[in-house]
Amino acid sequence: MSDRTSLGELARLFLRLGTTAFGGPAAHIAMMRDEVVTRRRWMSDARFLDLLGATNLIPGPSSTELAIHIGFERRRYAGLVVAGSCFIVPAMLITAVLGWVYVRYGALPAADALLYGLKPVILAVVVQAIVGLVPTAARTLPLRLLGIAAVVAAALGLDELLVLLGSGLAAVAIDRLSPARTVTEKGALQLVPWIVAGGAPAAVKAVSLPALFGVFVKIGSVLFGSGYVLLSFLRAELVERLGWLTEAQIIDATVVGQITPGPVFTTATFVGYVLAGPSGALVATLGIFLPAFVFVALSGPLVSRLRASRTAGAVLDGVNVASLALMVVVTAQLARAAVVDVPSALLGLASAALLVTKRAGPTALLLAGGAIGLLVRWLQSS
């Protein structure tokens, strides 16, 4: 690790990503790779994949945890706090403003138009990242076959966590069948202790800040998977168990997570604002993201040791290729929702061409895509 990265440089990078990284975890990961591997050369693709694999072994928001890991790589614990906070805060503020608009006016303006323009660009950004990561993640024939199997399993609906764990175990089995390597075993694989929430607490009749914090710290501590998994947790806790929100409000909160930049988990900010105003927004945000900082602080120092261990390195190889497989499946799902007509198809193709030729970066393309979406929808309605 180089000491040349200042905390100010980390802050500037992740503030910008937190303000402009639209599209959910897959897009965030693609943009982070572009910044820290391609542009800044802070790390290799192999190291980037190891950090990505490590995030998939612990609960919480994967792209936020990846940002925290990158901060830890560059400036240890101070970098961990700076990178993670700067990635979260812009999205939190934007989402809180949308929460205020929603509470005041009861609607989310221009959400459909923004998504129309953003999704084709996001698709191009993610595809570019996948193509760049494949040679490293699937560098051997067994890993390529394992990746294909993971894609099939995820496409058939197998739980994401099972895909990751199954791929890790399969990679260990493959490794055991291969000739012994000259790497010294460094003890049994130890993963970060998980914060497991206890049994469901008693139903809360009225919203309170401590109860709100408890709900979101519980979700942040045990949730694996995408924003759609977050939706199911929010619905189970806030609609069915506590009765704090309606089904329609949960759907609106999910839309906010999709149209705003930065972590999808800032959906919690919106929910907190709707339930308890600015204080609720802050408390819910702290609750859902705090476990991520704890998990990465505990697991960050172990990543290099995992790679040095033969067994743990094999697990990490399997998890890495499975993580890429999950990105492939998410991208295919996104393609069906993103390319809905000729203008959206042209926008996606143009974005891909500009990315491949390096004539534009992801941030500029996403901003342009949002503006184009607003323009096209306005022309279609006029």
CB half-sphere exposure, 344, CA atoms < 13 A: 21
Residue 86 tokens read as 């700067």
In a domain, 336, yes or no: yes
Rounded Cα distance between 288 and 233, Å, is 12
Domain that holds residue 49: 1-181+194-366
42-101 residue pLDDT tens:
988 888 888 887 887 777 888 899 999 999 989 899 999 999 999 999 999 999 998 898
In a domain, 21, yes or no: yes
The sign one gets for the Cα dihedral 125, 127, 128, 134 is: positive
Based on the structure, what is the number of domains in the chain?
1
In a domain, 381, yes or no: no
pLDDT of residue 203 exceeding 60: no
In a domain, 164, yes or no: yes
The model's confidence at residue 307, banded by pLDDT at 50, 70 and 90, is low
Residue 362 tokens read as 């992801």
The model's confidence at residue 283, banded by pLDDT at 50, 70 and 90, is very high
In a domain, 166, yes or no: yes
State the pLDDT at residue 179.
59
In a domain, 154, yes or no: yes
Rounded Cα distance between 78 and 330, Å, is 33
In a domain, 373, yes or no: no
pLDDT of residue 22 exceeding 70: yes
The conformation of residue 188, written as its DSSP 8-state character, comes to S
pTM score: 0.65
In a domain, 103, yes or no: yes
